[in-house]
Amino acid sequence: MDSITQIVLGAAVGEAVLGRKIGNKAMLLGALGGTIPDFDVAATFFTDTVTALEIHRGFTHSIVFAISFGLLFGWLCSLWDKRATLKQWWLFWFSCFVTHALLDTHTTWGTQLFWPLDIRLDYKNIFVIDPLYTLPFLTFLLIAAFHRKDNPKRRKFNNLGLIVSTSYLCLTIILKGFAFVKFKNELESQEISHLGIQVKPSPFNTIMWIANVETEDSFLIGYYSFFDTQPVQFYEHPKNHEALGDLAEDPLVKRLIKITESWYTISIKNNQVYLNDLRFGQLSVNPETERYAFSYLIEETDSGVHISEEIKDSRDARKLLSDLWERMWGN
């Protein structure tokens, strides 16, 4: 999830664990704990694009990290503030770290919660930024912060924030189930045979959902809003995997393909090869567009194959928001 959401979650969890003992310090340190796992993004400054992608939401989003670094931070804090024991401080940091990772499992990218096992949990039931999850949660947290640590209302409002946000998260799983059934029924009624299907929410909401459907030679992309009155339209995106040629055998390219879980297409633009990660959709609600949220340029250089992420145009994001709002209310 986005940084603000993780800060709010960390602050609320910190308050729930140690708020009665250390007051607002629990929220402040919890907010810090909610951001620490995302420090893995710093890998982009020290390593290549593919390795940075492999590191992202890996070790720092694992139970191993939550236990070991929870103990380290807990020990340091127990030396600094004696109002809580080492065990209580460890529980504090462990809870902040592990809830961060658990929340991220619900997004499209997911997490390697059981690192070092090569298992990525990605339930795809909530977009990385969802105001309906974050804003009510933030409101209850701020109300709680204005009460003294020994005031029962402080704990009440903080708990309400945790309950409401968790309830909404559970609701998104149910909504995804409805969307999945709708897409499956549409594929059946349109007599579209397929090898696999992924369903995920469109940006910033859980009203409209996106399906990636794999067929033998292509991927189909379709949108469905709960306000739709017309059948789902699926648009074809040829896999074009053969366009990789000898690049398909390069170790770095193979690693990138593994990251995409084989949900990718290949585009040739200006005689350059691009690998498009379909899991994160497009920069448009028009499924026929070839502007993808994550696209990687693959170049052969004197020192070997080089992979870099295509730079996004801010104008695409602004248009996406406008088109998304219009499409969300039905076809």
> Is residue 316 predicted with pLDDT exceeding 90?
no
Average pLDDT over residues 254-280: 95
Q: Return d(Cα 314, Cα 74) in angstroms, integer.
A: 41
Domain residue extents for the chain:
3-173, 190-331
With 0-12 / 13-18 / 19 or more C-beta atoms within 10 angstroms meaning exposed / middle / buried, residue 96 is: buried
pLDDT higher for 62 or 23? 62
Average pLDDT over residues 159-186: 98
* pLDDT the model gives residue 208: 96
In terms of Cα–Cα distance, which of 123, 125, 135 is closest to 174?
A: 125
- What are the tokens at 206? 């859980």
pLDDT higher for 66 or 325? 66
- Percent helix, percent strand, percent coil in the chain, to nearest 5: 55, 15, 30
* Digit-coded pLDDT (tens) for 18-46: 999 998 999 999 999 999 999 999 998 89
- What are the tokens at 199? 């369903």
* Digit-coded pLDDT (tens) for 93-109: 999 999 999 999 999 99
Q: How many residues does the chain have?
A: 331
Average pLDDT over residues 172-184: 98
Per-residue DSSP letter, 121: B
Q: Return d(Cα 234, Cα 231) in angstroms, integer.
A: 10
* pLDDT the model gives residue 44: 87
pLDDT higher for 317 or 258? 258
